[in-house]
Amino acid sequence: MYNIALIGNQNCGKTTLFNRLTGSRQKVGNFPGVTVDVATGPLRGKTGFIVVDLPGVYSLSPYSAEEKITRDYLFKSRPECVINILDATNLNRNLYLTMQILETQTPTIVALNMMDDVAANGTVIDVEKLSELLGVIVVPISAAKNQGIEELVEKCVKICQSGDKNSFRDRCEGAIHTAIHSISHLVETNASRMGLPAKFSAIRIIENDKEIIDTLALAQNQLEIIDHFVSDLEKSLGTDREAAIVDMRYANIEAIYKEVVKKPGENKSQLRTDKIDKILTHKVFSIPIFAIVMGLIFYLTFGLVGKTASDALSAFLDIAGQGLRDLLTRAEVSGWLISLVCDGLFTGISSVLSFLPTILVLFLLLSIVEDSGYMARIAFVMDKLLRKIGLSGRSIVPMLIGFGCSVPAYMATRTLSSDRDRKLTLATVPFMSCSAKIPVYALFTMAFFRHYRAPVMLFLYFFSIAAGIFYALVLQKTKFRGQSVPFMMELPPYRLPSVKTVLTFMWEKAKGFLVKAFTVILLASLAVWFLTNVSFKFSMVGDSSQSILAGVAKWIAPVFAPLGFGDWRLTTSLIAGLSAKEAVVSTLAILFNVSQAELPAALGSILSPLQALSFLVFVSQYMPCVAAFATLRKEVKSTRFAVLAMALQTAVAYISALIVYTFGMLFTL
Amino acid sequence: MTLDTLQIGASARIIKVSGQGALRKRLLDMGLTPGTNVKLYKKAPMGDPVEIIIRGYHLTLRLSEAKNIFVEEAIA
């Protein structure tokens, strides 16, 4: 089996090329502890070749989670071939990573992407010359237009099978040349013991790459000699060791660029981008435009398309469910089995499926926003606001989607490129009160705040956001301390997203959700069914007040007494709300044995307005439903993280409700 | 002077990159090396971050990061 690593900058068309190379048989790899995805897939039309899509990075330094994954794969797993994809319209910037890849002496093939744009710009790149100067095969391609892919595949296969290593091309001179050579001789034995090339090790040592220095296990006298070489180098160049190596790479790039780019045309996509950005990142218009775009996404996802599709689907599922019930009844299956199948199993399946239209529509739209280059502008425009809570501009999108539903919001964090930002955003998202909680707010405000419904709801939303911000700040000062990553990123030219990439992305999201979340949601639905329909004596109950759930709730209820709502029926509804927030209302109706219309009056008899408010505050902030939990667990690939996040969040909700209730008591006394 | 104090539309030459660890490495890796010309192209609506042109591409960075880039303004 040959491994082919696909490496490139962000925004250079890497994902599009990956889709071209592998088709639809992709698998997302598991890297424990990080949220960054590494997709793998077999090379299309060949057997025995696996393409690994590594995170898009600008450099191979050991700082961010993404860079670590890419560099570890390259340095340690040692793929048989690297496909380094470059945006040919931006050679200067993209060749930097190429220089670092070539230093590793891994067999490499350069895929020069967006050659169609280069031609349109009137730029002429001498591909043969570039290949000669880099010392590796260069294939001009257009991933979006599916040009040059076959040639790339054939040449890549050949490289894998030949097993030839790249020789190190010495392009440097003077003091840096002396230093690299001296150090590489010095550490040769250490390097070969670790399976690393000596020149590569020398460059990394000069660059002060702590990880490589540690790996080499150098002796004290070696380190002293190295220090001596390095200080000589710094003195003669008048710069420091890190800058010296970066300079060397960029000097090479400039020399190559001069020889290779025969006729620099005007970059048409950049000119077009500048014009578009005059409006989209305009001082005054940019934020309203962002609001409109988000509003449109929201409307299409949760309103028009999402709701219509969801409603149609759930109407169909209702009919199917009823049909199933009738069928089982006619077959004279016993009552508990009918209930298990129809209320437990079927409800679980329906709840998974009902998320599907929303996810499809949302990710179709988000993929367009991301691939067109607008997402980078959102980050640019909104960054200052989000930075105050330790996040970066891109986090705004999943957070806003959280007001619709936490499930797609969690999934939308995929567009965040930094692992740290992603985890922090995931923790904050559920504080954006989701739309499934609205029926609960509606019921309680109807019962207790008939004349102040809107202000109370606004209070709930803002209080929850405030709690989320506070929570993010605390996390940042504790768990995520010192992990902040530089914000720096490229503002790529606007491009028309490729239909194939957008559809693949949408499909992958939906498939991922179905596969990974299905079991958890189904099991949880069965558990809730069991708890609400079975008594401690394991017999079926007709009245849910006799159920295990009620028993558990009666036991837990005193915990909520300090918040003002120690009634076991409210506790039961909160637990039932874990299956889906809408269940809070329906459970209350069952337990009070009244219709939903009579529920406000019934609630009014057991709660004061302040206690009701405290209950609402708790509902608005406590842990989201099982579907959200399953999604979070899938996104972070860690049950521990997901459980901890839920527990912490419920603790925050408890404290918030306690604060509201205690302060309220003080003022009303 | 440092890059964050540059006027919109002004060009300058980088003379020194300060800072430490991940931040400094990232600045250098992105091509912000001494001797390179840089142009402050735009500021975000809230004044931060800024968009610069360096080595022929558009890069955005925060003012707090730009503070580490010492520049001298090009004589027009």
More confident residue, A418 or A406: A406
pLDDT, position A341: 82
Cα radius of gyration (chain B)? 11
Cβ-contact A595, A603 below 8 angstroms: no
Nearest CA-CA distance, residue A133 and chain B, Å: 20
More confident residue, A285 or A576: A285
Cα distance from N-terminal residue to C-terminal residue, chain B: 17
User: Which of A 275-314 lie inside 8 A of B, CB atoms?
Assistant: 277, 281-284, 286-287
Superfamily of domain A2-162: P-loop containing nucleotide triphosphate hydrolases (3.40.50.300)
Sort strands B69-73 and A108-113 into parallel, antiparallel or unpaired. Answer: unpaired
Cβ-contact A92, A17 below 8 angstroms: no
pLDDT, position A276: 94
Give the torsion sign (CA, A577, A582, A584, A586). negative
Instruction: Please give the ipTM for the structure prediction.
Output: 0.94
Mutate which of B15, B20, B25 to disrupt the A interface (most A C-beta within 10 Å)? B25
Between A242, A287, A385, which is nearest B24 by CB? A242
For domain A174-263, give the fold. Answer: Helix Hairpins (1.10.287)
Q: pLDDT digit string (tens) for B26-63?
A: 999 999 999 899 999 999 999 989 999 999 899 999 99
Averaged confidence pLDDT in chain A: 88
Cβ of B22 and A61 within 8 Å? yes
pLDDT, position A669: 63
pLDDT, position A397: 87
Across A237-251, A258-272, A601-615, A616-630, least confident range: A258-272
Q: Tell me which amino acid residue A597 is.
A: A
- In chain A, what residues touch B29 (CB-CB under 8 Å)? 58-59, 61, 96, 246
pLDDT, position A389: 82
- In chain A, what residues touch B24 (CB-CB under 8 Å)? 242
What phi and psi, each to the nearest 5 degrees, are found at residue A88? -65, -20
Q: pLDDT digit string (tens) for A283-341?
A: 999 999 999 998 898 888 877 777 788 778 878 888 888 888 888 888 888 888 888 88
C-alpha distances out from residue A104 to A60, A169, A198, A525, Å: 11, 11, 10, 51
- Find the helix or strand (DSSP H, E) in which A385 lies: helix A374-387
Q: What is the average pLDDT across A461-484?
A: 86
Cα distance from N-terminal residue to C-terminal residue, chain A: 75
Cβ-contact A140, A12 below 8 angstroms: no
Cβ-contact A563, A654 below 8 angstroms: yes
C-alpha distances out from residue A424 to A352, A395, A473, Å: 26, 9, 10
Tell me which chain A residue has its CA closest to the CA of residue B27: A488
pLDDT, position A35: 61
| Cα A265 versus chain centre, distance | 37
Give the torsion sign (CA, A501, A507, A511, A517). positive
Distance, in Å, from the CA atom of A314 to the CA atom of A320, rounded to the nearest integer, reads: 9
Backbone conformation region of residue A662, classed left if phi is above 0, alpha if psi is from -120 to 50, else beta? alpha
Cβ-contact A407, A627 below 8 angstroms: yes
Look up residue A395 and give its two tokens: 């986090």
Where along chain B do its domains lie? 3-73
User: Which of A 95-114 lie inside 8 A of B, CB atoms?
Assistant: 96
Backbone conformation region of residue A238, classed left if phi is above 0, alpha if psi is from -120 to 50, else beta? left
More confident residue, B14 or A390: B14
Q: What is the average pLDDT across A252-258?
A: 94
CATH code linked to domain B3-73: 2.30.30.90
Across A249-263, A461-475, A505-519, least confident range: A505-519
DSSP string, A293-337: HHHHHHIIIIIIHHHHHHHHHHHHHHHHHHHHHHHHHHTT--HHH
Q: What is the pTM of this model?
A: 0.84
Q: What is the average pLDDT across A384-406?
A: 87
Nearest to A608 by CA among A651, A667, A648: A667
Look up residue A266 and give its two tokens: 């005007």
Q: What is the average pLDDT across A257-277?
A: 88
Q: Is the pLDDT of residue A499 over 90?
A: no
pLDDT, position B75: 61
Where along chain A do its domains lie? 2-162, 174-263, 518-668
pLDDT, position A189: 95
